[in-house]
Amino acid sequence: MITIKDIQENEDIKKLIKGANRMLDALGYTEHGIRHVSRVSKAASDILRELGYPARMVELAAIAGYTHDIGNCINRKNHGLTGANLLFPILLKMGMDMDDVVMVISAIGSHEEQYGTPVNEVSAALIIADKIDAHRTRVRKGKAFDPKDIHDRVNYSIKKNWLEIDKDKSNIRFELIMDMNISCPMDFLEIYSSRMRMCEAAARYLNCSFELVINKFTLNRPNFIK
């Protein structure tokens, strides 16, 4: 079976990730390179692992997380759909089972906030893992910090973030610490409100609640299932 290690070592996938990151750099977006996809890959697989899903589904979540943004090498718009189409022949050439291919490409094709929605367990985990990657390391190295740029301001203010998955309470908790001298929760919500709602929907697909906590204050009202 194709593993996340096989995906990480594939030269075509490496070039697609790097090309997508260069494209977004030219458009002024935050970092979307190896750092981002590696974090998303780990978070997506951690979510399903902690919730007790089968090992193969955990592996597919890692693969989807690592490859989810390759469509950006063509265009930012509809990059989920583009990325799924780009990845399809690569996975087949690598010898991945068709059922696994379908799971991965449907997750990638459904992760964009403009039209995405959780369509399977891997998709739900990918959505959460992708949308919670807010941190100062996403501000591009070598780029002068622009306090007037809300994306720079919000990301640079986040000193620490982490995800807690409580299987017993069926709750996924995203917590972050912001430097209030740089930005504030209102700025965060201006960018991330729709993404956090998407995370709530993805958590519900996994029969969980999603909890957003900034500077030890809970901003939403998690509906605990158990």
In the chain, domain spans: 4-218
pLDDT confidence bin for 223, thresholds 50/70/90: low
CA distance 44 to 169: 19
Instruction: Give the three-state DSSP class for 166.
Output: strand
pLDDT confidence bin for 50, thresholds 50/70/90: very high
CA distance 86 to 160: 34
> Which CA distances in Å does 34 have to 18, 38, 101, 123, 211?
8, 6, 22, 20, 27
Is the pLDDT confidence value at 195 over 70?
yes
CA distance 155 to 30: 9
Range of lowest pLDDT (6-10, 214-218, 219-223): 219-223
Is the pLDDT confidence value at 134 over 70?
yes
Half-sphere exposure in the Cβ direction for 101 (13 Å, CA): 15
Instruction: Give the three-state DSSP class for 178.
Output: strand
> Which CA distances in Å does 59 have to 44, 63, 66?
9, 6, 11
Is the pLDDT confidence value at 26 over 70?
yes
Packing angle of the helix pair 98-108, 55-67 (nearest 10 deg): 50
- Closest to 111 measured CA to CA, from 132, 129, 126: 126
- Angle, alpha carbons 41-47-53 (nearest 5°): 110
- Domain 4-218: which topology? Hypothetical protein af1432 (1.10.3210)
Question: Residue 158: beta bridge partners?
Answer: 178
Range of lowest pLDDT (37-51, 136-150, 175-189): 136-150
pLDDT score at 40: 97
Read off the amino acid at residue 108. Answer: I
Is the pLDDT confidence value at 175 over 60?
yes
> Which CA distances in Å does 96 have to 16, 58, 82, 216?
19, 15, 19, 43
